[in-house]
Amino acid sequence: MFDFAWSEIAIIAAVALIAIGPKDMPAAIRTVSGLVKKARRMASEFQTHVDEMVREANLDGVKNSFNEIRNFDFKDVVEKHIDPDNSLRDTLNDLQNPSEPAAGEHAESDSVVAIAEPEPEPNPAPAFIPPAFIPPGMIPPPAPVKAEAAEPPAFVPPQYIVR
């Protein structure tokens, strides 16, 4: 009921034995068991009254609608509206599995045409090689920059004065 483990119940019993004492322990156990019985009786009575109110108010329809909402499958509803005759699904399955004939079709070896795919280049060079991975002798020297070709920048930000 409260998810007590046996070790927890044993600790509670030991503390109760020390706090209450062995002389008054049977009376305390009877009192606690009477309270538990009353609580269970009140809970079952409350559940009976709630069930009775539901029957009187005819809330079975509301309960059924809650169950329908709980069991609602969005995927199936979308599939029914987008592809009611499953033609889209069949087409996609045919594209994924071209070797299998579709329903009602026969596989004929004369009508199958093989399409040759281009072979990939062996060991294509990467688009960018980081400088750290290039051996030192393989790096070409930078091109010389002409002093005349360099133009001053169009805008120079103002210097900040620190006082």
Are 35 and 64 members of one domain?
Answer: no
**pLDDT above 80: residue 5:** yes
In a domain, 32, yes or no: yes
**Helices within the chain (DSSP H only):** 6-20, 25-57, 60-70, 74-82, 87-96
In a domain, 162, yes or no: no
In a domain, 43, yes or no: yes
When computed from its CA atoms, the radius of gyration of the chain, rounded to whole angstroms, is: 42
| Total of domains in the chain | 2
pLDDT of residue 92: 82
pLDDT of residue 108: 52
**pLDDT above 90: residue 43:** yes
In a domain, 89, yes or no: yes
pLDDT of residue 105: 55
More confident residue, 62 or 32: 32
Structural domain including 48 reads 23-57
State pTM to two decimals.
0.32
Phi, psi of 5 (to 5 degrees): -85, 165
Residues 24, 16: contact at Cβ < 8 Å?
A: no
- CA 124 to chain CA mean position, Å: 39
In a domain, 80, yes or no: yes
In a domain, 144, yes or no: no
Dist. CA 50–CA 43, nearest whole Å: 11
pLDDT of residue 30: 93
Which structure tokens are listed for 103? 């329903």
**pLDDT above 60: residue 109:** no
Q: Which of 52-56, 135-139, 148-152 has the highest mean pLDDT?
A: 52-56
